[in-house]
Amino acid sequence: MSNKRTELKVSAIRNGTVIDHIPADNTFQVLKMLNLDESNRQIYFGTNLDSKKFGKKGIIKISGKFFEEEEISKIALVAPSATLIEIKDYDVSKKESVRLPETVEKIVKCFNPKCVTNIQHIPTKFTVTQDHKGNMKLACHYCEKTMGEKHIEFL
């Protein structure tokens, strides 16, 4: 009988956050969007991991980091299937799925170059909606243009 290891063990974090169930294609986008690529914190991440629920998924563990509402909104825009798991003293203290906010302010740039937010220093504001296929859309409060996920550019 073979005694080969079939799983990779990663150190548990004492305090921090695990972002689980990230769509595999979006793992690096989440890392960059949260500026984790420039962080000096201990970060573990994996992508294209097997998931019973999603087929393939990404996961990010950040030591010593708990997210603010604005950061959670960003995560929800890029990874609406994500689960945030807060760890305190090696135990799960909170676990919840991210939810798309009704509105997002000051975190996404309008893709319309003629929008007043791109001409003057006016903070952006979008209403979050879904189209008939369930795809997320952002409607600009000022120019009323609607953009999909692939046009999202974070400020």
**SS3 breakdown of the chain: % helix, strand, coil, rounded to 5?**
20, 40, 40
Pick the more confident residue, 22 or 3: 22
16-97 fold: Alpha-Beta Plaits (3.30.70)
Q: Considering the chain, what percentage of its residues have pLDDT values greater than 90?
A: 59
Average of per-residue pLDDT across 88-117: 93
Residue 11 has pLDDT above 80, yes or no: no
- What digits encode the pLDDT tens for the residues 28-56? 989 988 999 899 999 999 899 888 877 89
Structural domain spans, the chain: 16-97, 103-154
pTM: 0.80
Residue 105 has pLDDT above 60, yes or no: yes
CATH number for region 103-154: 2.30.30.20
